[in-house]
Amino acid sequence: MKLTTFSFLGLLVAAIAAQAQEATDAAPAPQVAEAVQSVEVNGMKNPEFKPYRQMLKGIDAFEQFHALAPAAQLKFQLVSDSTPIAFDKVTLRIAGDNTEVPLPVDSNGIFMLPRLASAAEDNAEIISNLRKGQLRWRSEIRSPNVPANARRLGDLRLECEIGWAINRQDMSFVARNSLSMMGGLCHAKRVGLRYQAPRALSGVTLVSGERKIALSIDPKAKRVFWPPLADNSWNNESLVVYEFEAAPAE
């Protein structure tokens, strides 16, 4: 079964699919259904924001499942599915009644998130200077020495665990508990998790030593493919290798 929609069994498929989200240009996360809340920052109503305590759950998951990618650092990334964004113009800060901590964002939308007990106690938010709906938030796990045209399966698994930890509370009760009964989003073999490559694919292959299989590509969104995260017969060192479509002639 494949869920489409950053995507995230039978009788409950429709309910779960409605809650699913593709968490990444890499890793998936459940669809976030954030509570309606009016916020104003520097004259902007309803900026894009995340509760700091919610993002801390991703740091906890990284520490819990770090063995999936022991050489990798935890980074987060801002991404946009539609509107092109100049990320060097994006600002982020941890803000609360007694908290004000800037978070530098690089030109690719990458930022680091510190663990601050004072910010959690202050019930702080991570607030951007963009309006709500323009950004998605995902983890970025990259082990060293992985080829530029590939992703390590353990890295994708760790990204999934981080996304599940951060976003599961925002899923419906039915979807969250159905997935939990199957061991969680990242271990549910009946759920196909949707990932994105950097650009359109002509092929994508999962490789472990001499063993290889071709992975399915979405014919409509040619960047999208489905790696078998829950299939433990593929070890964490397995590589998802991209074959990109040729760039159109100018």
Over 70: is that where the pLDDT of 67 sits?
yes
What's the DSSP call for residue 116? -
Where in the chain are the domains? 13-244
Over 60: is that where the pLDDT of 44 sits?
no
DSSP secondary structure letters along 117-166: HHHHHTT-EEEEEEETTS-EEEEE---TT--TTEEEHHHHHHHHHHHHHH
Average pLDDT of the chain to the nearest whole number: 81
User: Distance between terminal CA atoms of the chain?
Assistant: 39
What pLDDT digit, counting tens, does each position of 22-38 carry? 333 333 333 333 332 33
**Which pLDDT belongs to residue 145?**
96
- In the block, tokens 């009644």 appear at 97
Residue 160 near residue 230, CB atoms below 8 Å: no
**Which pLDDT belongs to residue 140?**
95
Q: Bigger pLDDT: 207 or 222?
A: 207
**Which pLDDT belongs to residue 80?**
81
- CA neighbor of 213 nearest in space, from 198, 226, 223, 224: 226
The predicted model gives 164-186 an average pLDDT of 87
Over 80: is that where the pLDDT of 112 sits?
yes
**Which pLDDT belongs to residue 49?**
84
- Please give the single-letter amino acid code of residue 140: E
The predicted model gives 90-97 an average pLDDT of 95
**Which pLDDT belongs to residue 208?**
98
What pLDDT digit, counting tens, does each position of 121-164 carry? 999 999 999 888 888 889 999 999 999 999 999 999 999 999 99
Q: What percent of the chain has pLDDT over 70?
A: 79
**Which pLDDT belongs to residue 82?**
67
The predicted model gives 185-213 an average pLDDT of 92
